[in-house]
């Protein structure tokens, strides 16, 4: 966009200034989305609006400014003449293909009405650029990208890294324990529960063992039970070890072991069992009581990608 144009049009625009400031000040992204690279594309929006009033001049490509640092690639401007930066995932766009206010989404993106907002709270759905593909990919840098648009952004941000798609699906890796089981103490007769959340591709198998016992839990012990569930994030498995009505003999170190074809990891946690007498004589024990399960529940609530 040649600068003189904006200057010529600045005067008749003055009455519109409050509106423009409002536009420039509005948050371009809904809560939870990635931060946009500033209100630059909104500024471009009203420059486009200005240009529209003038109609398209005969195209002189040699006068076009070369757009730089376009992380979603380049698209032709409203006049089909100059290249400009395409909009990134999560940025506002024009649903009407004839409109050119917010600009066009990049090649792998499409403009869609955002249904993610909370309509009951009166949020107006906004058209946003959304990646056409939602399949995770493994990059040649060994990192997993949630979809193609993120990989392309990374590739355009670091051109000399020669980032390409290594293969569809996440990069294969040994399991990672995302949330490990915490040390627990309690009084005899109470129920206790250990949790273990694991990310892996290929998916991991989880098992529980107790130090000194040569069996996989629960074995045939009816007061111990083990549960598994996929999630809370994609390619994760969560497992719980529950011991009902704990006895002093349940004391010890328990291990969450996660294994797939590429490797195995483990995380230990201890169980301390107090009799009511011990609790009596020591008073309220100064043992780690802050490591309790509810933290885990809070974290998993954001699991949009629950599988």
The residue ranges that bind ligand NAG (CB under 6 A) are: 160-162, 185-186, 190-191, 276, 280, 289, 292
How near is the Cβ of 191 to ligand NAG at its closest, in Å? 4
What's the DSSP call for residue 232?
S
Looking at beta carbons only, is 56 or 289 nearer to ligand NAG? 289
What b/e readout covers 172-182, taking b as 16+ CB neighbours within 10 angstroms?
Answer: bbebebbbbbb
How near is the Cβ of 293 to ligand NAG at its closest, in Å? 9
Looking at beta carbons only, is 9 or 182 nearer to ligand NAG? 182
Whether residue 286 contacts residue 195, with contact meaning beta carbons closer than 8 Å, is answered with no
Looking at beta carbons only, is 173 or 188 nearer to ligand NAG? 188
Beta bridge partners of 274: 187
Q: Return the half-sphere exposure (C-beta side, CA atoms, 13 A cut-off) of residue 179.
A: 22
Looking at beta carbons only, is 3 or 162 nearer to ligand NAG? 162
Strand 165-168 and strand 144-145: the pairing is unpaired
Looking at beta carbons only, is 3 or 280 nearer to ligand NAG? 280
How near is the Cβ of 219 to ligand NAG at its closest, in Å? 22
Looking at beta carbons only, is 194 or 199 nearer to ligand NAG? 194
Whether residue 112 contacts residue 90, with contact meaning beta carbons closer than 8 Å, is answered with no
Q: Cα–Cα distance between 218 and 227 in angstroms, integer?
A: 10
How near is the Cβ of 195 to ligand NAG at its closest, in Å? 14
Q: Cα–Cα distance between 12 and 157 in angstroms, integer?
A: 38
CA-based nearest residue to 293, from 153, 170, 195? 195
How near is the Cβ of 194 to ligand NAG at its closest, in Å? 12
How near is the Cβ of 155 to ligand NAG at its closest, in Å? 11
């Amino acid at each position: 966009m040649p600068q003189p144009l904006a200057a010529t049009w600045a005067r008749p625009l003055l009455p519109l200034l409050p509106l423009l400031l409002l536009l420039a000040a509005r948050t371009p992204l809904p809560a939870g989305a990635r931060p946009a690279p500033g209100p630059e594309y909104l500024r471009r929006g009203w420059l486009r609006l200005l240009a529209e009033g003038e109609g398209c001049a005969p195209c002189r490509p040699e006068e076009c400014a070369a757009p730089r640092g376009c992380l979603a690639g380049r698209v032709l401007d409203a006049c089909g003449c100059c290249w400009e930066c395409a909009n990134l995932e999560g940025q506002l766009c024009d649903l009407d293909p004839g409109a050119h206010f917010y600009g066009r989404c990049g090649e792998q993106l499409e403009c869609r009405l955002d249904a993610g907002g909370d309509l009951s709270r009166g949020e107006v759905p906004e058209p946003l650029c959304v990646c056409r593909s939602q399949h995770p990919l493994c990059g040649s840098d060994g990192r997993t990208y949630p979809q193609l648009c993120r990989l392309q952004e990374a590739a355009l941000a670091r051109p000399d890294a020669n980032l390409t798609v290594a293969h569809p699906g996440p990069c294969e890796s040994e399991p990672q324990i995302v949330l490990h089981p915490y040390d627990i103490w309690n009084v005899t007769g109470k129920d206790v529960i250990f949790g273990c959340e694991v990310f892996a591709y290929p998916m991991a198998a989880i098992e529980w063992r107790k130090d000194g016992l040569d069996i996989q839990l629960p074995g045939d012990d009816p007061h111990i039970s083990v549960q598994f569930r996929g999630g809370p994030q994609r390619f994760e498995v969560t497992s719980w070890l529950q011991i009902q009505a704990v006895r002093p003999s349940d004391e010890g170190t328990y291990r969450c072991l996660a294994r797939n074809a590429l490797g195995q990891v483990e995380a230990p946690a201890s169980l301390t069992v107090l009799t009511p007498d011990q609790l009596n004589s020591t008073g309220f024990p100064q043992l780690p009581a802050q490591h309790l399960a509810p933290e885990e529940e809070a974290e998993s609530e954001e699991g949009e990608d629950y599988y």
